[in-house]
Amino acid sequence: MLNGKLVRLPGLADVHVHLRVPGGEHKEDFFSGTAAALAGGFTTILGMPNTQPPLVTYAAWHKAQQQANLQSLCDVHLYAGASPEHLESLPDLGRDAVGLKIYMDQTYGPLRITGLSTLLSCFQRWPHHKPIALHAEGRSVAVGIGLAAAFNRPVHFCHISRKAEIELIAQAKEQGLPVTCEVTPHHLFLSDADIPRLGTLGDMRPTLASKQDVDALWAHINTTVDCIATDHAPHTLEEKLGPDSPPGVPGLETALPLMLTAVAEGRLTLERLVALMAHNPRRIFNLPHQEQTWVDVDLGHKHTLTNAGLYTKCGWSPFSGMKVTGEIRWVQFRGHTVFKNGRILANLC
């Protein structure tokens, strides 16, 4: 019976993770963040540059990437961040970083590009073949599509959460524009109706949206949506429940069980899940293939998500208490068993 429900998936890739190094190591570090990734079935993750200091110069990015290479249990590729003060760094960063992250709207961290001329400079200086990922909300999505069209180059939209945004991206794709997008599990499985229950634990950017927005994301899950990305954004409970609560929620360890639940409910096929969580992210970001790397999941296992036993340093989840169908049993990474039956077995070599 149990064996009948075991299925082997490729190692998943999450293109949107905050690992908090440097400067936020009390929230997460490369070791804890990649342990959480493996426990969640992700063997490749892309780390965001909104650290303290942010990864906006070659020296800062390179130091963090080297540290990641030494302290991570799975593959970590760090984005470079766009900053108006360091536009001259972009060609060097463009050689080695996995992509450029541009924050067009207000969120956690120091990075933001507001002026059109600065945006233009970023697009002029970043290599044409290297990914650009945008934090763009509302009308900023239209600006990003305009830049993709004007420069005829790929642009990836992070955490798309609103009906109008996903419909605009669908329209752009219909016109043949080179745009892609990711959607997070929290925008698929939570809505603004959960805010009274969750309080600040339900606060992130983009904020949780209406039921109509959530329905629109699901309506595009088999077409317009390219990737499921977690936007794993850990902050401690003390920070989240205190004054000036920062936006962001963790998600690495809950994304696959939630998406498997959607498969069990017939909202998408397992093949589509693998496209959204492995093949498409690897293709869009040109991520290297990993030999002998796979994730065995039990499709039938029903359980309730809890905060207990999480590997993320922040130790909580906005999905705690939710019932899911599907569990990660065994993760193999380059020929080594790195996670089995709830335990991380990986070592730093």
Nearer to Zn ion, 128 or 303 (CB): 303
Stretch 215-254: interaction string toward ligand NCD, x if CB under 6 A: ----------------x-x-------------xx------
The residues near 217 (Cβ < 8 Å, ≥ 6 apart) are: 160, 161, 163, 166, 183, 187, 188, 225
> What's the rounded Cα separation, in Å, for the pair 131 and 178?
11
- At 9 the three-state DSSP class reads strand
Nearer to ligand NCD, 249 or 263 (CB): 249
- Residue 50 interacts, among ligand NCD, Zn ion, none and using kind-specific CB cut-offs from 5 to 8 Å, with ligand NCD
Q: Is the peptide bond before 206 cis (omega within 30 degrees of 0)?
A: yes
Nearer to Zn ion, 77 or 290 (CB): 77
Strands 179-183 and 100-103: what pairing?
unpaired
Stretch 107-136: interaction string toward ligand NCD, x if CB under 6 A: xxx-------------------------x-
Token readout for 102 is: 């541009």
CB of 284 to ligand NCD, least distance (A): 18
CB of 190 to Zn ion, least distance (A): 16
Verify binding: residue 18, ligand NCD, rule CB under 6 A: yes
| Stretch of 102-110, 148-156, 214-222, 326-334 contacting ligand NCD, by CB under 6 A | 102-110
State the helix-helix crossing angle for 163-174 and 139-151, rounded to 10 degrees: 20
Verify binding: residue 82, ligand NCD, rule CB under 6 A: no
DSSP characters over 99-164: -EEEE-S--SSS-----HHHHHHHHHHS-TTS-EEEE--THHHHHHHHHHHHHT--EEE-S---HH
Indicate which single residue of 32, 50, 254, 280 sits in contact with ligand NCD (rule: CB under 6 A): 50
Give bridge partners of residue 294 from the DSSP assignment: 10, 332
Site for ligand NCD in 156-215 (CB under 6 A): 204-205
Give bridge partners of residue 99 from the DSSP assignment: none
The residues near 51 (Cβ < 8 Å, ≥ 6 apart) are: 20, 21, 22, 23, 24, 64, 109
- Residue 8 interacts, among Zn ion, ligand NCD, none and using kind-specific CB cut-offs from 5 to 8 Å, with none
**Per rule CB under 6 A, count of chain residues that contact ligand NCD:** 12
Q: Give the binding site for ligand NCD (CB under 6 A).
A: 18, 50, 107-109, 135, 204-205, 231, 233, 247-248
